[in-house]
Amino acid sequence: MLPLNDVVHLAVTGLAQGCAYGLIALGFVLIYKATEVVNFAHGEFMMLGAFTVLAYSEAFGGSFWPAFVLGCLTIGVVGYLIDAQIMRRIIGQSSASIFILTVAFGFIFRSLAGIIWGWNTLSLDTPFDGQVALGGEFAIATDRLAIIVATILLCVLLYLFFSRTRYGIAMQAASQNQLAAYYMGIPVKRLVSITWAIGAIIAAAAGALLAPVTQIDTTIGLLGIKALAGAIVGGFGSIPGALLGCLLIGIIEPFADYLLPEIKGVSPYIVMLLVLFLRPEGLMKQTFKKKV
């Protein structure tokens, strides 16, 4: 058996990793709920976010927070434009074309990032250094703690946004029934674009916060696929479900990598395929079969 110290260490690592997946999955689920489009390029938003924050940070001489805010907003604008300029044109096409399109975006973003920032691994200076003691002999690295705190903070913010603000409630309405929302005078098109922007901002924030843990290169967008796997494990249609699924995947992953190094990195997919095999709708069911 593993010593307790290792278990705690792996669990904490996994918790932070799961939170990071959860942040990315939040964007997936938001966009899915608003438009029923699954944005396979969401991991690439995260990658672009990390690179943009790095670029701003270098331009500002190493100060993290202004670069963080500006970088997230930039990616938000990119997300808004992608929806307003491209995704809006292909509403009504078969979902197959739309998936293929978003996957193609992923490849374009990755290539562009590689061409602009190079293919080497870069690192970002963040204010999260050192460790925080958890009592006893256990400690948690500050950068991982930052991810966990940011996830909780963003979830609370999003919850308040969707339940208290005018825009949030309008978005909920548009998500439940677009046509009815449209008749009620809700600007559905703009709201969908804003949803894309919010998703992209969250992904960019996740990218910047993950940067000290994973470093930055063009392949970190693949984390998006793991986040998608997590969201599917939990059930794609619900935000709490997706977050839970991501936490589960995140906690399983370090243990699986530690115990079975041969399958390093693919345990999320195995878990996902298992869940899909046993419960095709995810752990929390969201679709309902129409009785004919």
Pairwise CA distance, residues 110 & 217, whole Å: 9
Which parts of 7-36 interact with other proteins (CB under 8 A)? 36
Binder of other proteins out of 124, 197, 216, 229 (CB under 8 A): 229
Q: With beta carbons less than 8 A apart as the criterion, state whether 241 and 282 touch.
A: yes
Interface with other proteins, residue 272, by CB under 8 A: yes
Stretch that binds other proteins, among 9-17, 61-69, 158-166, 267-275 (CB under 8 A): 267-275
> By the 8 A CB rule, do 65 and 198 touch?
no
User: From the list 4, 100, 132, 156, which residue makes contact with other proteins (rule: CB under 8 A)?
Assistant: 100
What backbone phi and psi angles, to 5 degrees, belong to 78?
A: -60, -45
- Can you tell me which of 3, 135, 179, 185 binds other proteins, judged by CB under 8 A? 179
Identity at 212, one-letter amino acid code: P
In the bound state with other proteins, the residue whose beta carbon lies nearer, of 14 and 221, is 221
What are the residues whose beta carbons fall under 8 Å from the beta carbon of 275, sequence distance 6 or more? Answer: 232, 233, 282, 283
**Residue 121 touches other proteins, criterion: CB under 8 A:** no
Residue with smaller CB distance to other proteins, 66 or 240: 240
| Euclidean distance between CA atoms 19 and 22, whole angstroms | 5
Binding mask 57-86 toward other proteins (x if CB under 8 A, else -) reads -----------------------------x
Selected binder of other proteins within 21, 40, 56, 196 (CB under 8 A): 40
Burial of 168 (0-12, 13-18, 19+ CB in 10 A): middle
| Nearer to other proteins (CB atom), residue 154 or residue 271 | 271
Residue 187 contacts other proteins per CB under 8 A: no
| Site mask for other proteins (CB under 8 A), range 122-161, x = bound | ----------------------------------------
138-142-147 Cα angle (round to 5): 110
Q: Nearest approach, Cβ of 225 to other proteins (angstroms)? A: 7
Binding other proteins (rule: CB under 8 A), the pick from 67, 198, 228, 251 is: 228
Amino acid at 192: V
Tell me which residue of 181, 199, 169 sits closest to 43, measured CA to CA.
Answer: 199
